[in-house]
Amino acid sequence: MGDMNEEKKIEQGASDSEVMARAKAVLGPMGVMIHTHSQHGDDTLVVQAEDILKVMEFLHGDEGLKFDMMMDLTAVDYLGAEEVHPYLKPMNARFEVVYHLYSVEKNHRIRVKAPLTEESPYVNSITGIWVGADWFEREAFDLYGVVFRGHPNLKRILLYEDFEGHPLRKDYGKMKRQPLIGPVN
């Protein structure tokens, strides 16, 4: 993503918060960002899924940002609603993995999103940076089928082993029922 258009998009804005300015200054030249926006004081970075570890290592380790706490990790299925974000359609993206980070020391937050396609819903696990991401990633895998590469124990966490499919995907029928589990069926 080193072409001129992409670099223009992540130029510094006059109204950027300190967090956003710092993130743009470092991540912009690395060519990992797709899009940024800020609404109601919430800063959001949309980054390439394959570069998620680079981004997270920077946000976690940078002296000025120090995002030492992973507040939340989940996924979103935009099937049939890809137009809500302008960057989804051009990438052929269906899912987004959404991370919310917080710095206890600096008292600031950031949201990081990584779009994924239906054909390759793979993203690297961030359990090596925040151990607490373990069960969040298992939940996103269980309900959305997003595969977190490098996760130490990626198996279903809420549903049972025999369950087929991922029920929070928009193409999982809302009235679809699976057989009761037990010794007989």
Please report, as ranges, the residues that interact with another protein according to CB under 8 A.
158-160, 163, 167, 172, 174, 176-178, 180-185
The letter for the amino acid at 62 is D
Task: Using alpha carbons, select from 42, 44, 45 the residue that is nearest to residue 34.
Answer: 45
Rounded to 5°, angle at Cα 49 from 47 and 52:
75
Q: Is the Cβ of residue 122 or residue 163 nearer to another protein in the bound state? A: 163
Question: CA-to-CA distance for 95 and 115, rounded, in angstroms?
Answer: 6
Residue type, 144: Y
- Smallest separation, CB 123 to another protein (Å): 24
Q: What are phi and psi of 29, to 5 degrees?
A: -65, -20
Query: Cβ(93)–Cβ(150) under 8 Å?
Result: no
Beta-bridge partners for 149: 124
Q: Which is nearer to another protein, 3 or 160 (CB)?
A: 160
Q: Measured from the CB atom, is 86 or 182 closer to another protein?
A: 182
Nearer to another protein, 14 or 175 (CB): 175
CA distances from 116 to 46, 94, 113, 166 (A): 11, 6, 10, 16
Would you say 53 or 159 has its CB closer to another protein? 159
Least distance to another protein, CB of residue 173, Å: 9
Query: Least separation, in Å, of the C-beta of 175 and another protein?
Result: 8
Query: To the nearest whole angstrom, how small is the minimum distance from the Cβ of residue 184 to another protein?
Result: 6
Give me the least distance between CB of 93 and another protein, in Å please: 25
- Supply the minimum distance, in Å, between the C-beta of residue 119 and another protein: 24
Question: Cα–Cα–Cα angle for 15, 20, 26, nearest 5°?
Answer: 125
C-beta of 88 vs 140, nearer to another protein = 140
